[in-house]
Amino acid sequence: MPGIDALADRLSTYLGKDQINLVRRAYYYAEQAHDGQRRRSGEPYVTHPLAVANILADMHMDHQSLMAAMLHDVIEDTGIAKEALSSQFGETVAELVDGVSKLTQMNFETKAEAQAENFQKMAMAMARDIRVILVKLADRLHNMRTLEVLSGEKRRRIAKETLEIYAPIANRLGMHNVRVEFEDLGFQAMYPMRSERIHQAVKRARGNRKEIVAKIEQSLKHCLGVDGIDGDVSGRQKHLYGIYNKMRGKRRAFTEIMDVYAFRIVVDKVDTCYRVLGAVHNLYKPLPGRFKDYIAIPKANGYQSLHTTLFGMHGVPIEIQIRTREMEEMANNGIAAHWLYKSNENEQPKSSHARARQWVKGVLELQQRAGNSLEFIESVKIDLFPDEVYVFTPKGRIMELPKGSTAVDFAYAVHTDVGNSCIACRINRRLAPLSEPLQSGSTVEIVSAPGARPNPAWLNFVVTGKARTHIRHALKLQRRSESISLGERLLNKVLGGFDSSLEKIPAERIQVALGEYKVEVIEDLLEDIGLGNRMAYVVARRLLACENDQLPSPEGPLAIRGTEGLVLSYAKCCTPIPGDPIVGHLSAGKGMVVHLENCRNISEIRHNPEKCIQLSWAKDVTGEFNVELRVELEHQRGLIALLASSVNAADGNIEKISMDERDGRISVVQLVVSVHDRVHLARVIKKLRALAGVIRITRMRA
């Protein structure tokens, strides 16, 4: 393997003498630090940092990144402190090395959690300096190139992590070459046989295609020459993992994928790209709907190019990418190209750097909102998307979102507060469901209302990590405030039976109880009661310090208003509605579940004051409640329509309907109807009874 002198020669093409000497110093420092250590392959350990620096030199990275590459394992593997590196090589290099150093192996419960924690640390370091991720990617790339010395199990684990996290990050930062190599090496390690078979098939197919590729290339060159355009034409090779994914994802045969011929035309400036487009569209007929202008609207990772598909000779499809040399450099090295062009402030790659920063900022925001590392990594994986849709705000600003995004994703992309208070949307000026997937080119307008809150059902259809994380966060806060409020009511209800209340309990007594329950503030204790994790009855005894005496049962039941929110739910087994006699079952983590008093499911714990509490309906109870009815009636035409119109006439609403015939003459219909209370239900049943042929109506209960 080439040594430090060979690397120094390569660096002399774009770095100054002093900078190269600093890189040399870092190399000799790493060589000493890793003295005696060897890699699994038996080579001296320092060959790894040197290889990582060589990968970064290919991208023309700056001298600090190369120094960090030389030293990236020093903190972790040799016990040298960050401070020592800082005094030797400066704060910036020490910070980079620290960012790249993996988390010291903590005792995580699962491999997934360890991986997630490592990634969180990387996200934090990336926010401080984006070069951390570039060094990390180069480190991972060299490890992937030398995977064969590891055991099969370890090889597959590292390959899976690379395909799931590192390849998408490289893609997100626009580093095409690194992503392709990650995917092909990962594919080879995960599925060696599949990889080998596709490799052999590609080799055969390329041999058979040589002639036709040369002919198309010749005709494209000739066409550019006629128009006086100077450009490089080359055939594009599809990589193995890309072929495998297309075969699997689009259910295509290998021959179908290989029947498409791909070419790239690289020219000097942007307006020439559009001239080339006109020339090739004159040469071969373009395929409608397959033209994409990523120059005017770049992809989220900064990628720019014109894409078009043509009908070539004998009707074979030809995919063509047209771009400038800078765009080619950007497409291959992505954000790393930013350092290559750093000298010229007006160069396009600056925007790619800004985009990458924006993405990292988003990742950091996700991290602060996520409940735990696994939730965070799930959000990030969703956000490392390859395909985008481009939509417009009412003022004409372009927003990039992943494929399948909905208006709720759009609302959170605009601003968290817009997402939290969103109640409806207009897509191209028409009212549309919030769950409708957005199409590129649509104009999206969000209708918001002050005081509106996120709906838990949104989690079923949002696509972006940002939306998912913020919805969860808002629901947690909402759930907490509702739990505290319910917990306070439950505790005061029990204390009321003893002529006391939370206000009357001395502060010292409350502090003692908090210490015993290992919580810091009274709100945490009340939240636990509201969530059903602690019993109000037991907490009240502790607060009144009457361990031996039985507390009398609280006077009167607790009134339910129907507005308690997430911590109060209605049992599906007996579907209670206002007016029914009810009890509350305190279920750990769920809060209170309201059952009918005679529901069979709670008959055993019905009189246990630690599990159940007497409830009543408040006079001002609001909301709609589902109730299940079983209607037996003679079979007749238009039966469903008759039932629906009867329920509608009584201001009810049918949520669900299903039917089975008992015999040829009698039908049994199961209806789930939403009503306000028992009086409303009686009105609905009265209307149904008035129908001809109705034999019996039964309200279904457990």
What is the pTM for the complete model shown? Answer: 0.60
Residues 6+ apart with CB under 8 A from 228: none
Residue 556 CB-density burial (10 A; 0-12 exposed, 13-18 middle, 19+ buried)? exposed
Strand segments (E) across 573-689: 582-587, 591-596, 612-617, 625-634, 653-661, 666-675
> 625-699, superfamily in CATH?
ACT domain (3.30.70.260)
Q: For residues 419-442, give the mean pLDDT.
A: 90
Q: Note the pLDDT of residue 605.
A: 84
Query: 58 in helix, strand or coil?
Result: helix
Counting Cα atoms < 13 Å in the Cβ hemisphere of 520 gives 0
Decide which of 115 and 85 is more confident. 85
Report angle CA 623, 627, 631 to the nearest 5 degrees. 145
CA separation, residue 391 to residues 308, 397, 400 (Å): 21, 8, 7
Residues 56, 66 contacting (CB under 8 angstroms): yes
- By annotation, the residues acting in catalysis are 76-77
| pLDDT for the residue 565 | 66
Whether 602 shows a pLDDT value over 60: the answer reads yes
Residue 364 CB partners (closer than 8 Å, separation 6+): 123, 124, 127
Q: Is the sign of the CA dihedral 456, 462, 465, 470 positive or negative?
A: negative
Domain parsing of the chain, residue ranges: 4-190, 194-340, 472-617, 625-699
Dump pLDDT digits (tens) for 137-182. Answer: 999 999 999 988 888 888 998 898 888 888 888 887 778 889 999 9
Tokens of 656: 């669900």
Q: Report which of 463, 369, 472 is spatially closest to residue 420, judged by C-alpha positions.
A: 472
SS3 assignment, position 408: helix
Question: Which class is 4-190 in CATH?
Answer: mainly alpha
- Alpha-carbon span 171 to 189, nearest angstrom: 20
User: Would you say residue 18 has pLDDT above 60?
Assistant: yes
Helix, strand and coil percent figures for the chain, each rounded to 5: 50, 15, 30
State the pLDDT confidence band at 447, using cuts at 50, 70 and 90: very high
CA dist., res. 565 & res. 137, Å (int): 46
- Please report where in the chains the tokens 């005061």 appear, as a residue: 492
Local structure of residue 102 (DSSP, 8 states): P
Q: What is the pLDDT of residue 407?
A: 94
| 524, pLDDT greater than 90 | no
Query: What burial class does residue 17 get, using C-beta atoms within 10 Å of its C-beta: 0-12 exposed, 13-18 middle, 19+ buried?
Result: exposed
Supply the CATH classification number for the domain 194-340.
Answer: 3.30.460.10
